[in-house]
Structure 1
């Protein structure tokens, strides 16, 4: 019997499994530890994960990404409408007010609910796990954002059940991160609780939790979030900058071409990563549109200036979590920074100035949620014996 933790992210998925000697992150068919959260519908078959990401340029209007942003949401929700402007696929309103994704598949137009697309992703990740472990996978714990509504949580459970999984629990991302951090620590003070701030800046959201640790015990003291602030928002800043630049320099409107938008957004994401390690970075794309090669250039200072409004918003959930925990900054023993969007140097500087200490990166930024979920699954499973560790939190779900 397997003990699995799933982190179905907005951009990538990670699977962790508990074994007798610890926790392993499973590799997909391409030997990667992360699998793209992509479902692509070709003319005759579906492509999921890495294959879907590879086929996205051939079928941009039939490729579904970031389905996590749509699960359990209303079509007329202003935040949903903002997201839909970015996505290349066509959507419409369902009879119950939900969202329908309209795609061409097998020569016909099909309409899928987000829960069905998510179930396809779960099914793919289940197949990856079963190939690795060579045994059936059923019991699991799944990581979810702390801001999910009851409807979104139930949609996650429905999608998992459609895929043949049995979720023992849905676990908030920061709670899973805290568990994967605290269960192995043996140097906590015996005279009182040790407070740690966990800041998870993902692809599309920011979550913050203040957690108190004692030997054999952890408690979530407070949590806060910004559901519309993540790495992709910084990508959009670069995207908008280069769209305007190319319009003036090359007389092309990137927004009028879906493939050009996808390619430029992908290039901007890579450029953001380059700027995290360098003070300046070039951008070169061959034949972006209208058979024109484009070149661009930006300095990190300029990028930070353009992103100043986003950077200011990073501190808001941090301050709220501190206020709700009713403790002073001086009582925070350490700050753990995780998530795919956390690598921007300006964010680390802001957090350093707010908490008075540099953030640590003890945990793997992309794998900690899946590892924590796998640990929780082991604690709930009768198969594994996990050393006594009390998790006290109201931020679990189901």
Structure 2
């Protein structure tokens, strides 16, 4: 039996395992520490991970990527319409209002739900772990974004069941990062807590949290997020820039060709990484479209100017998490910047201007979530002995409860579990009823869930 942590990213996945001497990140079949979150269906077989990413350019319509954005979502959500247009594969609405993915596989038309695709991906990650460890893998902790609704969390658990995994807990990404950071921090004094801000800019989202670190315990004070701001949005800025440039310069429109769009987006992502360490970067693509070789050049200053709107959006969750924590800037001891999208120099400058201090990069930006999940799994599993360390998360969204006769709550504003409440937590309610009645749990602030249903669950007692 082994203890494993999974970080299912929008672009890549990382597997970490707890061993007697610490936490190790496992290598896949290509000896890489990150595995692409891609499932591709070929003419005769299915490709996953690195093999799926390799066939994405040749077979874009049957290659499923960024499935994390579709999990637990409804097809008619307003902000999902723009999302679906970016995907090369075909999606449509299922009978229950969810999302179905239609594709060709072995000469037939197949339809899959995002949960089934995620189950395939988790099964592939499980096989990688079992091959490395040479033993069965069952117990695990999976990292999830803090903004996930109950429906999305349950979808992750369903996908884990498909893969034959037993998740001991779903752990928020920033909480996992804070755990991996805090448990190894040896310079904590007994004079009081050390407050650290963790800014996680991933491929598709931005998450921020404030953690209180003390000897033997870690508490999350507040969460904030932007669910649709990540590294891929900066890729899209470059994509649109060069798409319009090539249309004018070479008279080709990549929007009309799926393969050309996939190749240009992949090149723009590489270009963004080059711009992170260089003042300018060239773009050369052989036979992009209509047998034409395209060339371009962009400077970092021009890229930052094109991305100015995105950089301004990073300020919002950073200021919100500080306001929700009730702390002043002078009480923040350090700021840690992680995530695959955090390597852009302009982002570091924005974060530094908000918190009046240069952000640190003392933890691995891509592996910190998986390592934290593996640590949490070791704490919850009876297999390992881990030194006493308390992990206390906080609710990212306020939750209310109502019955047929109105709100059921202990607070005047109708909230049963307020945002920032310790999580997990328990409250005991006493209700006097003589007949059968219905109850409903719901998210109180629907404005924090744009386009999503505020309903959590319904109960008949």
TM-score of the pair, normalised by structure 1:
0.99
Unaligned 5+ segments in structure 1 are none
Q: Tell me how far 1:297 sits from its aligned partner.
A: 0.7
TM-score of the pair, normalised by structure 2:
0.86
> Greater helix share, 1 or 2?
1
1:261 equivalent in structure 2: 261
The answer as to whether partners of 2:223 and 2:394 remain within 8 angstroms in 1 is: no
Q: Deviations over 1:45-82 (max 9, x none)?
A: 10000000011122110000000000000001122111
Q: Deviations over 1:225-256 (max 9, x none)?
A: 00000000000000000000000000000100
2:195 equivalent in structure 1: 195
The answer as to whether partners of 1:169 and 1:397 remain within 8 angstroms in 2 is: no
The answer as to whether partners of 2:393 and 2:424 remain within 8 angstroms in 1 is: no
Question: Within 2, Cα distance between the matches of 1:295 and 1:191?
Answer: 59
Unaligned 5+ segments in structure 2 are 396-422, 426-461
Q: Tell me how far 1:106 sits from its aligned partner.
A: 1.1
Q: Tell me how far 1:397 sits from its aligned partner.
A: 7.0
Rate the CA distance shift 1:144–1:115 in 2: closer, same or farther, 3 A: same
Q: Does 1:26 align with 2:26?
A: yes
1:175 equivalent in structure 2: 175
Question: Within 1, Cα distance between the matches of 2:104 and 2:189?
Answer: 59
1:56 equivalent in structure 2: 56
Q: Deviations over 1:282-329 (max 9, x none)?
A: 100010000000000111111011100000000100000000000011
The answer as to whether partners of 1:171 and 1:397 remain within 8 angstroms in 2 is: no
List aligned pairs for 1:63-82, cutoff 5 A.
63-82=63-82
Q: Does 1:230 align with 2:230?
A: yes
List aligned pairs for 1:110-189, cutoff 5 A.
110-189=110-189
Aligned partner of residue 342 in structure 1, secondary structure = helix
Question: Within 2, Cα distance between the matches of 1:57 and 1:397?
Answer: 43
Question: Within 1, Cα distance between the matches of 2:84 and 2:299?
Answer: 30
Question: Within 2, Cα distance between the matches of 1:203 and 1:377?
Answer: 25
Question: Within 1, Cα distance between the matches of 2:217 and 2:343?
Answer: 30
Q: Deviations over 1:325-368 (max 9, x none)?
A: 00011111110000000000001001111111110001100000
The answer as to whether partners of 1:14 and 1:367 remain within 8 angstroms in 2 is: yes
Aligned partner of residue 342 in structure 2, secondary structure = coil
The answer as to whether partners of 2:236 and 2:265 remain within 8 angstroms in 1 is: yes
List aligned pairs for 1:238-253, cutoff 5 A.
238-253=238-253
Question: Within 1, Cα distance between the matches of 2:167 and 2:302?
Answer: 45
Aligned partner of residue 343 in structure 2, secondary structure = coil
1:357 equivalent in structure 2: 357
2:327 equivalent in structure 1: 327
Q: Which structure has the higher relative contact order (CA within 8 Å, separation 6+)?
A: 1
The answer as to whether partners of 1:172 and 1:397 remain within 8 angstroms in 2 is: no
Aligned partner of residue 154 in structure 2, secondary structure = helix
Q: Tell me how far 1:386 sits from its aligned partner.
A: 0.2
Question: Within 1, Cα distance between the matches of 2:131 and 2:50?
Answer: 16
Aligned partner of residue 283 in structure 2, secondary structure = strand
2:316 equivalent in structure 1: 316
The answer as to whether partners of 2:222 and 2:394 remain within 8 angstroms in 1 is: no
The answer as to whether partners of 2:157 and 2:167 remain within 8 angstroms in 1 is: yes
Aligned partner of residue 359 in structure 1, secondary structure = coil
Aligned partner of residue 341 in structure 1, secondary structure = helix
Aligned partner of residue 115 in structure 1, secondary structure = helix
Runs of 4+ in structure 1 over 6 Å off: none
The answer as to whether partners of 1:62 and 1:104 remain within 8 angstroms in 2 is: yes
Question: Within 2, Cα distance between the matches of 1:72 and 1:123?
Answer: 19
The answer as to whether partners of 1:91 and 1:100 remain within 8 angstroms in 2 is: yes
Q: Tell me how far 1:394 sits from its aligned partner.
A: 2.7
Aligned partner of residue 379 in structure 2, secondary structure = helix
The answer as to whether partners of 2:39 and 2:48 remain within 8 angstroms in 1 is: yes
List aligned pairs for 1:294-305, cutoff 5 A.
294-305=294-305
2:47 equivalent in structure 1: 47
Q: Tell me how far 1:109 sits from its aligned partner.
A: 0.4
2:439 equivalent in structure 1: none
Question: Within 2, Cα distance between the matches of 1:75 and 1:294?
Answer: 37
Q: Deviations over 1:204-226 (max 9, x none)?
A: 00000000111111110111000
Question: Within 2, Cα distance between the matches of 1:332 and 1:26?
Answer: 34
Q: Tell me how far 1:391 sits from its aligned partner.
A: 1.0
Q: Tell me how far 1:189 sits from its aligned partner.
A: 2.4
1:347 equivalent in structure 2: 347
Q: Does 1:83 align with 2:83?
A: yes
Q: Which has the larger radius of gyration?
A: 2
Question: Within 2, Cα distance between the matches of 1:307 and 1:77?
Answer: 26
What is the root-mean-square deviation of aligned Cα atoms in Å? 0.9
Question: Within 1, Cα distance between the matches of 2:347 and 2:37?
Answer: 25
Question: Within 2, Cα distance between the matches of 1:189 and 1:318?
Answer: 27
